[in-house]
């Protein structure tokens, strides 16, 4: 049974507030921010499951508020790939040791961080549907295992010649698919599901409110200032997980 004192609950709320604000402003980073901080407060698998529940709810609202910019043709192969990756990722988080999970998580984060800065000045490449399937599958694996399927999607989507609103809408649609699909495998991790759901219920409303505020702020903040900072943060925490967890 998960017992969360008020002090620790307040810390959890702060973590999700920061994650929701980043998601609203940037169009991604809810899972990245939350999953890098939650293991400091609670058990790794409990953190994965709590974030899975909140992530599904938050992304439904994110897609609803950005639905006018969504185009099915932009997202369909990424969505199919994500559905392929979800079952495998769900199995991994339920069977691998915490140390192996941290190595996979840290390595993935560090790789995506480095790749972002190496490739950020490259011109957009022609769309390859097979590549989109692979990227979607990688996102599904990371989303199921760690609730942070954003990095491979972000690296690809922001390489396309899309408007920021269009990119955010595609990201939100992929996060909805991985987030909701993830719930179908939530029992594989052996956590106290009723306790997780109860805890999530106390956090979801303030988290969604802050997400809405973040989306509004995102219309005013220069994205080129914030995006590199997220990837620097991603690389630093990924390195920490590789070396010290």
Instruction: Measure the CA–CA gap between 2 and 202, rounded to whole angstroms.
Output: 14
122-134 pLDDT tens trace: 555 556 677 888 8
43-57 core/surface letters (b: 16 or more CB in 10 A; e: else): ebbbbbbbbbbbbbb
Strand blocks (E) in 100-181: none
The dihedrals phi and psi of 125, each to the nearest 5 degrees, come to -95, 160
Going from the C-alpha of 173 to that of each of 79, 89, 216, the distances in angstroms are 8, 19, 19
14-37 pLDDT tens trace: 999 999 998 888 888 888 888 878
Give the CA-trace dihedral at 71, 74, 75, 80, to 10 degrees: 130
pLDDT at 127: 61
Domain edges within the chain: 6-244
116-163 pLDDT tens trace: 787 766 555 556 677 888 888 888 887 777 666 777 787 788 777 777
Q: Which residue has the higher pLDDT, 148 or 205?
A: 205
Q: In the structure, what pLDDT confidence band is assigned to residue 5 with cuts at 50, 70 and 90? A: confident
Q: Rounded to two decimals, what is the model's pTM?
A: 0.73
What is the H or E stretch that residue 56 is in? helix 44-65
Q: In the structure, what pLDDT confidence band is assigned to residue 1 with cuts at 50, 70 and 90? A: very low
pLDDT at 19: 92
Mean pLDDT across 191-218:
88
Give the tokens for residue 122. 């490259």
Q: What is the DSSP letter of 2?
A: -
Instruction: Measure the CA–CA gap between 220 and 124, rounded to whole angstroms.
Output: 26
pLDDT at 52: 83
Mean pLDDT across 1-17:
82
Is the pLDDT at 12 greater than 70? The verdict is yes
pLDDT at 25: 85
């Amino acid at each position: 049974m998960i017992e969360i004192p008020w002090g620790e609950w307040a810390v959890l709320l702060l973590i999700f507030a920061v994650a929701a604000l980043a998601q609203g402003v940037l169009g991604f980073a809810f899972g990245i921010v939350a999953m890098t901080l939650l293991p400091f407060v609670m058990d790794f698998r409990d953190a994965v499951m709590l974030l899975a529940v909140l992530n599904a709810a938050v992304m439904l609202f994110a897609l609803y508020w950005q639905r006018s910019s969504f185009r099915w043709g932009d997202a369909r192969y990424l969505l199919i790939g994500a559905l392929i990756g979800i079952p495998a990722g769900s199995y991994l988080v339920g069977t691998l040791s915490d140390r192996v999970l941290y190595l996979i998580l840290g390595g993935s984060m560090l790789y995506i961080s480095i790749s972002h800065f190496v490739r950020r000045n490259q011109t957009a490449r022609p769309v390859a549907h097979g590549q989109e399937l692979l990227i979607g599958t990688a996102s599904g694996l990371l989303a199921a295992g760690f609730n942070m399927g954003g990095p491979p999607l972000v690296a690809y989507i922001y390489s396309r010649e899309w408007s920021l609103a269009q990119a955010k809408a595609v990201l939100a649609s992929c996060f909805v698919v991985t987030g909701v699909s993830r719930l179908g495998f939530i029992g594989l991790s052996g956590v106290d599901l009723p306790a997780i759901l109860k805890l999530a219920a106390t956090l979801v409303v303030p988290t969604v409110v802050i997400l809405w505020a973040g989306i509004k702020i995102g219309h005013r903040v220069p994205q080129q200032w914030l995006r590199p900072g997220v990837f620097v943060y991603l690389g630093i925490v990924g390195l920490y997980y590789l070396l010290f967890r």
